[in-house]
Amino acid sequence: MVDRIKHDAPVLIIGLGRFGAATAGKLDRLGREVLAVDSSEALVQKWSERVTHAVQADAKSIDALRQIGAQDFSVAVCAVGSSVEASVLIVANLVDLQIPQIWAKAISQSHGKILERIGANHVIYPEADSGERVAHLVSGRMLDFIEFDDDFALVKMYPPKPIRGLNLTESGVRTKHKVTVVGVKSPGRPFTYATAETVVSNHDLIIVAGTEGDIERFAALGS
């Protein structure tokens, strides 16, 4: 049933803290219809003009969720994380309302396991994910870092010295270093897809894909 959800389906977001508000705002900018729910009247008023709909309600009550039509949504995000009890109650209500796709914020692994067991389809750890990303960036070698499942990452960085002035075949990026340069951006130009004949210079930015370990070793070349 999850596979049949429309890509532009309206989204129910519960909790207008920093994470929930950022999610709601971005979805609205992407053209998605959003119903944002929070128990705080002040937060609801703040966001009422920034998203499609914002209502004040206690999502810990399944009756309150029914009154705002939560059962009609196919995608819901529980962005409440500060209170584990509230988060669990809200997700349980969303499961009882048979919402097909439920995303939920967790503040710890144990919290996340509980959410998964009661029926959350996707559990998000924004604080932990942000911390891991920052840990990679503070070394100064990487400008942005996105890690996916199975230890696969995508990184924006300056090219290491040993590969500058050579095309990607000559520098042996893939054969020697086991990473792939996906794109290159020269000053004043947009990113372009990299080919075997692409030559990177001192001032270029590159997008690199590979395992976390291989990228770390590649980024450290010549440093």
- Which domains are delineated in the chain? 2-124 (3.40.50.720), 130-219 (3.30.70.1450)
Q: Which amino acid is at 149?
A: D
List, for the chain, all residue ranges whose pLDDT scores fall below the cut of 50: 1-2
> What residues have CB less than 8 Å from 184, skipping those under 6 apart?
191, 192, 194, 198, 200, 204, 205, 206, 207
Say whether 34 sits in a helix, a strand or coil. strand
Count of CB atoms situated within 10 Å of the CB of 169: 13
Q: What is the pLDDT of residues 169-219, one digit of tens each?
A: 999 999 999 999 999 999 988 899 999 999 999 889 999 999 988 988 898
pLDDT of residue 132: 66
pLDDT at position 6 is: 78
Cα separation, 96 vs 118, in Å, equals 10
Confidence (pLDDT) at 40? 92
Instruction: Give dist(CA 59, CA 92) in Å, integer.
Output: 10
pTM above 0.85, yes or no: no
* Region at 32 (left for phi over 0; alpha for psi -120 to 50; beta for the rest): beta
What local confidence, expressed as pLDDT, does residue 74 receive?
94
In this predicted structure, what is the pLDDT of residue 1? 41
Give the pLDDT score at 207: 93
Q: How far apart are CA 93 and CA 118, in angstroms?
A: 10
